[in-house]
Structure 1
Amino acid sequence: MMSEPYGHVFSTKSKLLNRDTFIFGAAHGKSRLFFGVNQRLTPMTMSTFCHWIQIMTNRIELEKFFLCPVVVQPAGIMSYFVRPSGPAIDPESAEPIPPGNYGWYCDAACNSRGVPEVTMVPQRQCTFQDHFDEDWLGPQRAIMDTVPPPVEKSATARDGPHFRFTTSVEDLALAWIIPPVLARETDDWGFNTDPTPFLVSANALTMQSDLVFHFHSNHFTVDPDDDYRILIFYDVVGLQRILPTYLPRHPQQDVAADEFLRLHCRYSLSVMIRGGDISEVYSNWSILAAMDELGVVDSGNGYREEREMAPLSDERWQTELGQAILAHIMRSGLHGLDKPGRLVSKSTSPPVPVSRLPSPDCDSNHNDRHGPERNEAALLHDH
């Protein structure tokens, strides 16, 4: 079920976040989706995107890269190639990037595809709120939302009746920017487990109580290095109507809070705009298993075993994966349809043994919270 007019199947993450802008990079000869943005919520320019990469990599100097509009073409089942369809965007451009598909290139001529250097930094898969619901927190779960009295007193004296995101003065709550119990999540490799530096008033904000869940779910964040712009990534409660474009500066602005806001912004960008490639939903293993169930077995040499495939009336063909497998079969030109609506082989090559399914250990673990993007091997090639 191709997501028109983009030419590729959206992953669960891309659907959930209602993305409209997709950035692909090189991955073992194919193309992999590395970033996705919903610009209806947070418009993006090229200079803004470069700034976000700086935040995620924690580097000021980046290797030069260019984004180029691309056409996405199938390269197998749930696998794609991209090719340039227009000139590269100036890296310093302040013009809005139109929604669509883009490729990450190393040169302005868009001849050399690149791998974003941010892939060297572990990708975050879970929001703060996701961590709150995990068992590993144990007894700490009961105190994670509790602000110690001395910190609360200092933060309350600083904020007074002010709500930092709107003018509302009702139903306010003091919330951690970075919950101290999740200190290790601010370290790329999880080495920093000491919550002490986070038990300070600079790491707390007064906000409407209904917004705490969404702030800790990384649905929105604040970029202190972009005039405190509020970035919204996921909106099911009308955050776009509630929140201003920029966080109002407080008369007693605590500059120490900027570092905690920066950490929250960095984490939110990693969770919300990175990743979302379709291979995170359909692994090699799951695709080959589905093909086997439907009676379609690809040897990898362009031949298919002579065996009866499931009739097209089989509801499994109507699934998202079934439709992708059927499209792959028809593109290959090795099968056609007979009058009863069955797939028949056009191949005159002798059958070959059924290719073995890879062991589950060959499948990448996409749920690894700290692991960088993996499973970039091609899925199944078009022949």
Structure 2
Amino acid sequence: MSTMCEPLHKLSKKSLTQGRNLFLWGHRNPAAGELGNPLNGGFNVQLFPHMSINTLYRWIRLVTGTTDPFELRPVTIKTVPTAFLGYAVVHTTSPALQESSTEVPPAGDYGAYYPSLAVRHAVEIRNAKSIQEAYNEYCGITPSEDEGDILRRVIVPKSTDSMILRSLESQPSLSYILSNFPGPLVDYNVMPSDVKDAVKQRSRVCELSGTPGGNHGDLTVEWIFLPSEAFRLPENLSFNFDPSPYVVPQNAIYLHRNLVKPLTDNAIGVDVEDDFRIVRFVGDLDLQGLSLPSHVSQAQTQRFDTAMKEFLRQHFVWCLRVHICGGDVLEDFKEEDIIETMRELGFRVGSDDEEVETPPLDDPLWQTEIGKVCWEMRVRSSLAGYR
């Protein structure tokens, strides 16, 4: 199992910036032509000293929305010689991380699997169906059809690979989206005066830090989850989404002005299920001298109704998408740039590509970032016996 001290895979800019040392690898989809396993998430264990193994599982479930059983198991990462920055996950015999554990998760590489290593299922074979057709049907590859008499049942293994980590979809911060991709719903972000008044009546201090306002406008009312961007949530995906349910006092919070940017940048979030812990997702967070407690005080949380807790939860999940999800090194490159460079360097990318003469070693293209990776591919392929 590789660690941050000696990574066996090239780190993305996101992983390097965050100092990641725990990596969550998804399983490849051969049907989609994938040669390697995607890196779907990760983080710096030292940045979250409060995180337990149970917390890690819970955060994954929060983002993916799954209640299905799965296990995180240590894996070994090896290079795929014929794939551009492709890496393959190799199973190990190391024990899985126990979901109930309160210990800190060890740094390293992990994959998700179904709890049983020997999952086997009975598949009905009907007339006019081959075993492969029946198995494909069972796996959901083909539509289910029940016509025909049952001829026999066969026992087939089902893959123990859980695809749960493939659902760790990365997203930019809400403030970045609003600044760079303002949509048609942006007018919903103008906060009505009655919403502001209701929030000010709910609390007289900052609802996160407990800091009183003073006489210099230190406190302001801000949205928890921007109404204009609520359509991006998986549960709200719709062509006719109505943001009105987000234009309510429960989706607004009384904040000290030094916390406005960290909240809208998704640099901090409230983990409702962890006794309203205030989680910092950025190590060098500048609060301009403001003291931020580890948890929202009970004096404040007792005023949070069910709806407000849900808005805080939605904001927190988005924080996880911004900081914990994604980070595959391929995110640093444009696919068309990779393909174009590889072809110019004599690689056959597609089955229809014609043979191209490999340029000499002094060609400047070999010195580009993509070119250097291609050279490593050529060397590894030669050592592995590929042409």
Q: How high is the TM-score relative to the length of structure 2?
A: 0.73
* Residue number in structure 2 paired with 1:157: 201
Q: Aligned AA for 1:45?
A: S
Instruction: Verify: 1:46 aligned to 2:60, yes or no.
Output: no
Could you tell me whether the CA contact under 8 Å between 2:343 and 2:349 is conserved in 1? no
Name the CA distance, whole Å, in 2 between partners of 1:149 and 1:307.
69
Cα 1:319–1:198 change in 2 (3 A) is same
Q: Which residue of 2 aligns with 1:72?
A: 77
Please identify, of 36-45 and 256-265, the stretch whose mean Cα deviation from structure 2 is larger: 36-45
Asked if structure 2 preserves the Cα contact closer than 8 Å seen for 1:47 and 1:93, the reply is yes
Alpha-carbon distance in 2 for matches of 1:88, 1:143: 46
Identity of aligned residues (%): 28
Spell out, residue by residue over 1:339-373, the C-alpha distance to the aligned partner (whole angstroms, 9 max, x if none).
Answer: xxxxxxxx9xxxxxxxxxxxxxxxxxxxxxxxxxx
Superposition deviation, residue 142 in structure 1: 6.1
C-alpha contact 1:56 1:118 (8 A) present in aligned 2: no
Name the count of aligned residue pairs: 328
Does the CA-based 8 Å contact 1:87-1:109 persist in structure 2? no
The answer to whether the 8 A contact 1:223-1:262 is kept is yes
Structure showing greater relative contact order (alpha-carbon pairs closer than 8 Å, 6 or more residues apart): 1
Is 2:227 the counterpart of 1:177?
no
CA shift, 1:236, in A, is: 4.2
Q: Are positions 1:330 and 2:371 aligned together?
A: no
Q: What secondary structure is seen at the aligned counterpart in 2 of 1:328?
A: helix
CA contact (8 A) 1:12 1:281 kept: yes
Structure 1 distance, partners of 2:223, 2:343, is 50
TM-score (norm 1): 0.74
Aligned match for 1:88, one of 92, 96, 99: 96
In 2 relative to 1, CA 310–291 (structure 1 residues): closer, same or farther, beyond 3 Å?
farther
Structure-to-structure mapping, 1:60-209, within 5 angstroms:
61-62=67-68, 64-75=69-80, 76-85=83-92, 86-107=94-115, 114-117=161-164, 119=166, 123=169, 125-137=171-183, 141=186, 144=189, 146-165=190-209, 167=211, 169=213, 171-188=218-235, 190-191=237-238, 193-209=241-257
Following the alignment from structure 1 to structure 2, what is the Cα–Cα distance between the partners of residues 331 and 110? 34
Specify the alignment match of 1:307 in structure 2: 357
Q: Distance in 1 between matches of 2:383 and 2:6?
A: 27
The 1:316–1:159 alpha-carbon spacing in structure 2 relative to 1, beyond 3 Å, is farther
In the alignment, structure 2 segments of 5+ residues that lack a partner are 31-35, 120-158
In structure 1, distance between residues paired with 2:260 and 2:327: 25
- TM-superposition CA deviations, 1:195-245 (whole Å, max 9, x none): 222222221112222321221121221111111122222344346995332
The C-alpha deviation readout for 1:148-172, integer Å capped at 9, x for no partner, is 2222112112210345235464522
Deviates further, 213-222 or 274-283: 274-283
Report the secondary structure of 1:250's partner residue: helix
Unaligned runs of 5+ in 1: 336-346, 348-381
* Residue number in structure 2 paired with 1:377: none
Alignment correspondent of 2:156: none
Question: Shift in Å at residue 273 of structure 1?
Answer: 1.8
Deviates more, 1:169-178 or 1:9-18: 9-18
- 1:361 corresponding residue in structure 2: none
Question: Is the 1:27–1:115 contact (alpha carbons within 8 Å) kept by the matching residues of 2?
Answer: no
